[in-house]
Structure 1
Amino acid sequence: MMGFAIILIMALAVFVAVAKFARPPRAALELLGAALMIGLAGYAWQGSPTLAGRPTPPRAGIGQPDSIFAQERGLFMERMGRNAQVLETAEAFQRQGLPDYAVGVIRGAIGRNPKSAELWVGLGNALLVYGDGMVTPAAKLAFDRAAAIDPDHPAPPYFLGLAYAQNGQLDRAAAMWRSLLQRTPADAPFRGDVALKLAIAERLLALQQP
């Protein structure tokens, strides 16, 4: 199922990148979305989505790609300020293949500012990267702590939903995004991303039904 989740995330990334940078007409976006949906359906039908993925462990000193959190956190969090600097430093360590250093940097910042929901979300993501994408109890606890500190902040449910999707737990991902979408203002800049991910997750769940 991990392979299926990876394909899902890649499809979402393609759609978001085209919508954000190419800015095609709405009809073209709808066509692209339909094409991606057909491709995902084809993989679900003919591929092997139930086989477990086998990610290669990161090697220290070898460049690693940015996590989805690093790519998308600007939609939900401040891009400037002390918290942003901490998260950028952690992401730099992750790119160098040093996820344990990233965890340490954020934990140190939380020690100085324990009531920052953004830092707790960052810690949850750092623990995901450190755990090869697995939603460990420590990662889940970090996301839960962020939500408890600021129940109205969209980042905890959004990124926890992404983590569930990456683990193939599409039902949990859809539940997180559905709840978030219900309380998201119509003019929120991230509403479209949440709605798109929820629609794809629900479609994939429907395809899994006998």
Structure 2
Amino acid sequence: MIWLVVIALAALAFAAGVVLFRIEKGLWSSLLAALAVGLAGYALQASPGLPSAPKVAGEDRSNPLFDVVEVRRDLLAKDEHSRADFIVTADALAREGRYEQAAQLLASVTRKNPQDFEAWIAEGNALVEHADGVLTVPALYAYRQAAELKPRHLAPNYFLGVALIRQGRFAEARQVWADSLAAAPEGATGREIVAQQLERLDAMLTAVSQQMEQERSAAAESGVPAAPSAPVSPASSAP
């Protein structure tokens, strides 16, 4: 039920932009893309079915990397966790929003030990956050180094997919997650996490596609030109 409300609000936002604010037809695709990004964020972060709970003292969940640190730990088996002392310090810096310092500290860890799987992932995450969610070349390099160490592991590609989604590259993110799940062995650590997020992404993409199809049908019946389609089909693949 909550999805119906969210989609209805997105449709109202689009209608308001076109009717009330008279956004030019050439900008409709940009508006749809912006709404799709918002829906993607909701699909991946919201948990409307969970009951509310009091805030635990000392936690600062306003920082987006707080959850990233926790998810990273959850995606790794205990024997895969880094033994570098500096990674704890880097996580603390990241939780404070000091991403550049965290990335520099993690870079020193990976230079000293290029086989440190978790440090490469943490470095990629810190670099993405330092770039305000942009998947930079250094961040992609860090993820790829982790993937080379453990080609069938889910963690590097999970965070790569998150970074792609934050840039609106939904089809590429979906392909990365789907391929990663297909390659991972049964019972792999974090498999449930990635599968759940892929399911949420598919639900969001399907909902957006259905909403756009309804808008096109309604526009065709009324004789009003339909808005151009945004490339968000769940069946799309990375170029």
TM-score, with length taken from structure 1 = 0.67
Answer whether contact 1:124 1:140 (CA < 8 A) is retained. yes
Deviation at 1:66, TM superposition (A): 4.9
Matched, 1:70 2:69: yes
Q: Distance in 2 between matches of 1:41 and 1:195?
A: 23
Q: How does 1:1-210 map to 2 (within 5 A)?
A: 35-47=1-13, 50-51=33-34, 65-67=63-65, 68-78=67-77, 82-83=83-84, 85-206=85-206, 207-208=208-209, 210=229
Which whole-Å CA distance do the structure 2 matches of 1:124 and 1:174 have between them?
19
Question: Distance in 1 between the 2:146 and 2:2 partners?
Answer: 33
In the alignment, the residues of structure 2 paired with residue 110 and residue 189 of structure 1 have an alpha-carbon distance, to the nearest angstrom, of 23
Consecutive unaligned residues of structure 1, counting only runs of 5 or more, are 1-34, 54-62
Provide the aligned length of Structure 1 versus Structure 2. Answer: 166
1:39 deviates by 4.6
Measure, in 1, the Cα distance between the counterparts of 2:89 and 2:5: 37
Distance 1:181 1:168, change over 3 A: same
Residue 123 of structure 1 contacts residue 139 of structure 1 at CA under 8 Å; is this kept in 2?
yes
Distance 2:203 2:185 in 1: 24
CA distance in 1 between partners of 2:152 and 2:34 (Å)? 37
Q: Give, in whole Å, the separation in 1 of the partners of 2:5 and 2:144.
A: 34
2:73 maps to a residue whose letter is: G
Q: 1:161-183 CA deviation, whole Å, 9 max, x = no partner?
A: 11112222111111111012213
Gaps in structure 2 of 5+ consecutive residues: 14-30, 38-59, 213-228, 230-239
Residue 151 and residue 40 in structure 1: after superposition, are their counterparts in 2 closer, same or farther (change >3 A)? farther
Identity %, equivalent residues: 27
Structure 1 residues 170 and 87: CA distance shift in structure 2, 3 A: farther
Structure having the higher Rg: 2
CA distance in 2, matches of 1:189, 1:150: 13
Alpha-carbon offset, residue 115 of structure 1: 1.9
Aligned to 1:10: none
